[in-house]
Amino acid sequence: MRSDEVKKGHQRAPHRSLFRATGLVDEDFDKPFIGVANSFIEIIPGHFFLDRVSKVIKEEIKANGCVPFEFNTIGVDDGIAMGHDGMLFSLPSREIIANSIETVMNAHKLDAMIAIPNCDKIVPGMIMGALRVDVPTIFVSGGPMKKGYTKDGTPIDLATAFEAVGKYEAGEMTDDELHDIECNACPSGGSCSGMFTANSMNTLMEAMGIALPGNGTIVALTKEREALYRKAARRICEIAKNKAATKKFKLTNILNENAVRNAFAVDMAMGGSSNTVLHMLAIAKEAHVDFNLEDINHISKKVSHIAKISPSLSTVHMEDINSAGGVNAVMKEMTKRGDDVLKDNLTITGETVYEKIKDAHIKDTSIIHTIDNPYSKVGGLAILYGNLAEQGAVIKTAGIIGARALTGTAVCFNGQPEAIEGIIGGKVKAGNVVVIRYEGPKGGPGMQEMLAPTSLIMGMGLGDKVALITDGRFSGATRGASIGHVSPEAAEGGMIGLLKDGDEIHIDVDKYILSVNLSDEEIARRKSEFVPIKKELKSSWLKQYRALVTNASSGAILKTDLF
């Protein structure tokens, strides 16, 4: 066992003495040591109950002949951090989480790990750290929250609450109506109930084979969810106690190129968050998988978009997907377009992907459509290119409202606060393309989510009348013609930084185009005069992050080889 390095032999008597201080006895030193990486934190609705989850998991690990060691990561709630400078710390937190996993697991030579994430950057951060450690790992998330209901019985969620602010600003909602939504949009613990970033990543872990079936859809704080925790704990012990299995199920044997491609395919079939592109690119690099942004469009052409979930369809939430057959049913239906839609691959259960989904079927075709009745014959994400995005930009096509091809005039804002002020102040009109720049990984720094401006645009009735482009990113709750991750970003001299009010911007989603109608001579002139804005920072961590981070086209990973 890997842990023998810290617990076996006479030279490790001091080490064993320290372990005994934590409660271990003689017989424990012959058992596998299992890291229980918990993201319990009281401020996040998807995480405040994870201390109870870890108790269940540790109890099951002990009952199955292994020794659990719990440790914690940090977490940021993107909804609470939204719309102010707290969001600058959200994406950087992914790196802290990855580093903490790598640090604890390798410093103490633990044999295997069970990770308990749920929301936002915490899921990819844990995956990235686990890939560096490369021991058998099962991910079991806290689970999605239930959908909420207004007094009149309308299903709602967090996206409803953000869009309600726009309606209130436009005078279309009363104080009482806003308060009703505020009190009922998030009715329980769990990751927010739509196909936002958290639930997108939680379902993609099923697609990658690193989590058990139901991980993305079984509702939090239920007996069914507890059964999933116990099953995951039993499985990690089964692997850790078997030397051959420990070698077979190390994480990189499962999370390989096939798994990455399956994740993107399932993401497109279910219309997941555009943030998954950012995170899956970073995960692919940690897994040493050669996957590039342009590969996404090739996958999209093979995948039918067969499930619409809030925010794309406000009446459908994760609990509905679970009732309709879950992620396995989506995957099984996807394969009906051909054997190359999903790659067969080993999963943590011991089955291959095709073995895992062989008995799955859709239970409600109004929730999960068949491939004969898709929302779209292509996937729910697209990568756009052109002189405005030479290294690519991302759009969640599943969330588009209005035209998929348009030409509009630029209204430029240097940052999200300026944009919010301008949108509320009436600066944005029908036919405009809202440009929010200096919000990329380096320019933000930290690549803020743009849920506040996109929600204002929707709430003010402009969702099908304007488009928005940014070098920042979007919340999974965003809908509309919203294009993010524009690379190169403004802070590194990208074209988005050279735009001026009134420039004509052309978007064609089906042709994968994002461009500005300027001559090469005019672009060259603007570049020669351009000096990027560099924001003043007080935070030492954000200064470090800005110095090391790459742009969104590479997953906003940090540079590690500096010399």
- Where is the binding site, in residues? 78, 120-121, 449
Which two tokens mark 241? 């106690």
Q: Which of 475, 482, 487, 515 does the annotation list as catalytic?
A: 475
Which residues lie across from 515 on neighbouring strands?
506
d(CA 104, CA 427): 50
Q: What are the binding residues for Mg(2+)? A: 78, 120-121, 449
Residue 176: HSE in the Cβ half-sphere, 13 Å Cα cutoff: 2
In the chain, count H helices and then E strands.
22, 14
Q: Are 146 and 436 in contact (CB under 8 A)?
A: no
540 is catalytic: no
3-state secondary structure of 456: helix
d(CA 307, CA 369): 6
Three-state DSSP string of 281-313: HHHHHHCCCCCCCCHHHHHHCCCCECECCCCCC
Which two tokens mark 40? 């319990």
The identity of residue 331, as a single letter, is M
Which two tokens mark 71? 């440790």
In sequence order, the 6+-apart residues with CB closer than 8 A to the CB of 19 are 7, 28, 29
d(CA 19, CA 13): 10
Residue 386: phi, psi to the nearest 5? Answer: 155, -175
Closest listed residue to residue 342, CA positions, set 292, 376, 304: 304
d(CA 345, CA 257): 10
Catalytic residues: 475
